[in-house]
Amino acid sequence: MSISDSKYVSFTTFKKDGTAVSSPVWIAPLPDGTAGFTTDATSGKAKRLRNNPKVTMQACDVRGRVKVGAETVEAMAAAVTGDAHAQVQAAIKAKYGFMVALIGLGTKIKGVFKKDAGTTDTSIIITFP
């Protein structure tokens, strides 16, 4: 099983000082052998990738707890917009279906009450070695 087949992935980026920062994400395989997920352009992970494209990933649960015995996968990642973002959005929708609609609704409701509710206007493309 490929890491992109996992339901949740602990996606780890690195700060300028080398400190690892992990967060659970949905991930979907793309036709060219890469994988991706959506995020906000202002998210910490998108910002950290501008300084260091190296990432690690492990299968995890919804809260980011790494599964026992989960393999660590090293890769390179970059934030993208435009057509590449649209391709990732479509892959996420195809894999996660109804859950994507629920998350989108939650984000819209949050936006009514909070000015900086965020959007998923960017995607992260992951390239495997």
Per-residue pLDDT of the chain (129 residues), as tens digits, is 689 899 999 999 999 999 999 999 999 999 999 999 999 888 999 999 999 999 999 999 999 999 999 999 999 999 999 999 999 999 988 998 876 655 655 455 555 555 554 555 899 999 998
In 1-129, alpha helices (H) = 44-51, 82-96, 98-113
pLDDT for res 121: 81
- In our burial notation (b when 16+ CB lie closer than 10 A, e otherwise), range 80-101 reads beeebbebbbebbbebbeeebe
47 conformational bin, left if phi > 0, alpha if psi -120 to 50, beta if neither = alpha
Which CATH superfamily does the domain covering 3-127 fall into?
A: Electron Transport, Fmn-binding Protein; Chain A (2.30.110.10)
Q: Which residues contact 71 (CB under 8 A, 6 or more apart)?
A: 3, 58, 59
pLDDT for res 117: 47
pLDDT for res 2: 87
